[in-house]
Structure 1
């Protein structure tokens, strides 16, 4: 199943934790996805999935405008119904990312 599905994701940023819902779906042979937070829903771009024997490594980019405009880059590993990894906004420190697939 890999990354496809809905995920409850927590991002630990330097200014506090964010709870985001990610939705990954297969459309016309490619993966399309969105991220929904308290104040906005944004599309993900440049989604790359690398298959491994027991997991998937997934990278993507997204731009948010609230609470401030940031371009984010994500790098996560999916093991079953859990994902872990990090995000980065430019030169800011990495933020830890953890998530669990919704039932």
Structure 2
């Protein structure tokens, strides 16, 4: 297993949200968390497909839903989207710590 920490920014329709995404890799799977000012979301069902990351984050705020993240890793940077149910998609970027 290995741990990666990413400093991320998600650009949602209602504003930018900085967060710290922690990925705990186990082969081609991962778990972890995404911590922002609004709280901590668990990362579940994480999959690694080459340079692509796919994961889910259940939340209760502002309503119960499951956010779906998809990103491409290029060295120490990631770019992708978070699908937020009825709120649409938000762009997400990140820089790996360390």
TM, length-normalised to structure 2: 0.85
Matched, 1:37 2:36: yes
Displacement of 1:79? 0.6
Q: Which has the higher strand share?
A: 2
Q: Secondary structure at the match of 1:44?
A: strand
**d(CA) in 1 for partners of 2:92, 2:34:** 13
Q: Residue by residue, what CA displacement relative to the aligned partner does 1:18-46 show, whole Å, maximum 9, x if unpaired?
A: 0010111235x542211111132121111
| Equivalent of residue 91 in structure 1, options 74, 80, 86 | 86
Displacement of 1:60? 0.5
Q: 1:59 maps to which residue?
A: 54
Matched, 1:81 2:80: no
**Unpaired runs of at least 5, structure 2:** none
TM, length-normalised to structure 1: 0.81
**Unpaired runs of at least 5, structure 1:** none
Matched, 1:11 2:6: no
Deviant stretches of 4+, over 3 Å: none
Q: Residue by residue, what CA displacement relative to the aligned partner does 1:65-84 show, whole Å, maximum 9, x if unpaired?
A: 33x12321011000110000
